[in-house]
Structure 1
């Protein structure tokens, strides 16, 4: 392959080649998804071309927003990164990701997340492992069965209920860190069909108000290997959570295994026998800032957090982040401003990602070589991670 690579946004004429490259890279179904070769709002597709004009790499910037302590933070979540086998190891992915970050910054993105097939190339570009999306299996018969609450109504949901479901999802997730808002052009595009997200939807209502829901897929058969997959089960009251758990437990005679994606510390999880859960699947996700000042200024911060810390940041791929900064947090608002001179605390962008996502403390980041204290106390950098660990609920 020639030494040079040219990166640009893909056009409609490039999408068939991009689909073929992705199919080969990921072993996808030869049958194309309907959206694969059409323009989709809310995402930007990038391609890398060699000197002959052949497409040798592709990557997608998903225009998501993430919830961070009550505020929406614009994100450039990355998916579909693939490089032709003949072009691997030649800097193609790095060139694409650099272009993606520049484009994402220009459109206003602040942060980025991705699910890697292999972490090392993304670490080399500034992303760092920050969490895991887990699917666990429970013995359905082990779920507690509660007497139905007389003030609650349980019924099957329909597509007409989806706006109320979206509102409850937002109520549960908006004060956390990391979950997608599930708003915007991209989600509107895929929701245009108007169908349910799985095989069925179970709703719990209190006086006509939605207080809990579970979306699920029935699976096949009713023998010992039958699995009921719960894509999401969320509730806003303990009574609603118990009601949902009771409904799910009622499947024990025909679906001995319940598979679900737990949300740490939520209303439903505290009623599940998670000590007996068996891990079915785990998908590592990685995080990094697109624009550090925007990442700090657009997110929410815990009201009790207050303080400031100076640090020097190094970001080899997104050099606009490199420099000496002062982080100030007070009254639920954070600000990152450039300052002159040097700083005793030095931070690599991967260390910034770990701290921002609440995935590590400053001393651990220092021990990992992603921060350097130069004799100073590194604990001041923990201000960057107040508010608890981030968590994703969507795979992309």
Structure 2
């Protein structure tokens, strides 16, 4: 039987041990950065301790908000999960994640996302794969170049332009699902110095209004292996996207490779030769409800979607989610109401995550064994839970 562990929030005195645990787990540089032992607002650190008081595990709840069809939904995004090698396989991660979910629910979180180094332990705790953040390489010389539009102004940005950049990011992302709002105390810490987020910031303006931007890292050298890394390139008009792509194309002689994360359906991506892209990196991300009733009521829903469906939900780790619920969606709002009895549809919490994030239709969830239904009952009724399209993430954490 596994040795019991005690899980609690980490105090300032615990942060040196937490840094060392993370350093060994992730192979970090031995030089400790200043933020490793800081205590910024907007996150909660959890630790698991054995019966001698030794720290054997850690996990961080990032107090993010995510956009879901125009509404900001409180999230407990998980990062920095590490378990000492001698304590692995003994239920330490499960104990920490259970405590994290309880604490997140108490502070009002509705949903959770994470990037796993290995998916199985998180699947066992109710998270399920919902998408991939892809990083690709493009030959810079393949990018199209257009004659600059006379009515657009293209210039280098400064720190004074960052509020306008943040407003344009929100304009692009708030009607989507899953994107971080980049608001709140944690992001206030990141932007406190008001410096540029990379080596350069390129802006496109139309009659004084920002309509596109790109942030980028120049990298080193100018030979065949030189890479220009585009951290982000977003636009709200096709003309602005063409201008940004033209600026990026101008680097071809000194940075033959362009590295970026394509954003499905984004205006800039529609002007890139992505058919020629080579995958550089892929980061799988997973999703989970913290509080299913809150997850449904807090998000936005497509105004044209209407329906009602009953479902019995099973969530062994977060028992407050378990039970029989009636989902009602109408006029851009949704609600889960507890009802008595057993429904004809029985859904595992991982299936809820897949449906909510738009990662799979109900029939596929049933084929995966995460949704069970009585004979003659169409599982597609639960597609109502996934209305609004697939979730995406642009931020790694």
Structure 2: distance between partners of 1:195 and 1:14: 31
Structure 2: distance between partners of 1:262 and 1:287: 20
- Structure 1, residues 22-76: CA drift from partner, whole Å, max 9, x if none? 0000000111121111211000000000000000000000000000000000000
- Structure 1, residues 94-128: CA drift from partner, whole Å, max 9, x if none? 00000000000000000000000000000000000
CA contact (8 A) 2:2 2:91 kept: no
Q: How many residues align?
A: 396
If the length of structure 1 is used for normalisation, what is the TM-score? 0.99
Map 1:43-54 onto structure 2 (within 5 A): 43-54=43-54
- Residues 215/380 of structure 1: CA separation in 2 closer, same or farther (3 Å cut): same
Structure 1: distance between partners of 2:38 and 2:365: 43
Structure 1: distance between partners of 2:124 and 2:116: 13
Match of 1:203 in 2: 203
2:360 match: secondary structure: coil
Map 1:343-382 onto structure 2 (within 5 A): 343-375=343-375, 376-382=377-383
Match of 2:123 in 1: 123
2:165 match: secondary structure: helix
- Say yes or no: does 1:133 pair with 2:133: yes
Match of 2:240 in 1: 240
Match of 1:69 in 2: 69
Structure 1 stretches of at least 4 aligned residues deviating more than 2 Å after TM superposition: none
CA contact (8 A) 1:5 1:51 kept: yes
Match of 2:166 in 1: 166
- Say yes or no: does 1:386 pair with 2:387: yes
Relative to structure 2, which stretch is displaced further, 59-68 or 28-37?
28-37
Match of 2:294 in 1: 294
- 1:195 CA displacement: 0.8
Structure 2: distance between partners of 1:120 and 1:311: 26
Measured on the aligned residues, the alpha-carbon RMSD in Å equals 0.8
Match of 1:323 in 2: 323
Structure 1: distance between partners of 2:335 and 2:306: 11
Relative to structure 2, which stretch is displaced further, 264-273 or 1-10?
1-10
1:342 match: secondary structure: coil
Map 1:262-277 onto structure 2 (within 5 A): 262-277=262-277
Structure 1: distance between partners of 2:123 and 2:17: 28
CA contact (8 A) 1:2 1:51 kept: no
Structure 1: gaps spanning 5 or more residues:
none
- 1:2 CA displacement: 7.2
- 1:390 CA displacement: 0.3
CA contact (8 A) 1:136 1:260 kept: yes
Structure 2: distance between partners of 1:152 and 1:381: 46
CA contact (8 A) 1:357 1:390 kept: yes
- 1:160 CA displacement: 0.6
Structure 1: distance between partners of 2:280 and 2:396: 15
Structure 1: distance between partners of 2:257 and 2:109: 40
- Structure 1, residues 289-326: CA drift from partner, whole Å, max 9, x if none? 00000000000001111101000000010000000001
- Say yes or no: does 1:91 pair with 2:117: no
CA contact (8 A) 1:140 1:251 kept: yes
CA contact (8 A) 2:204 2:212 kept: yes
Structure 2: gaps spanning 5 or more residues:
none
Structure 1: distance between partners of 2:88 and 2:113: 22
- 1:373 CA displacement: 1.1
Structure 2: distance between partners of 1:2 and 1:284: 30
CA contact (8 A) 1:2 1:50 kept: no
CA contact (8 A) 2:2 2:90 kept: no
Match of 1:24 in 2: 24
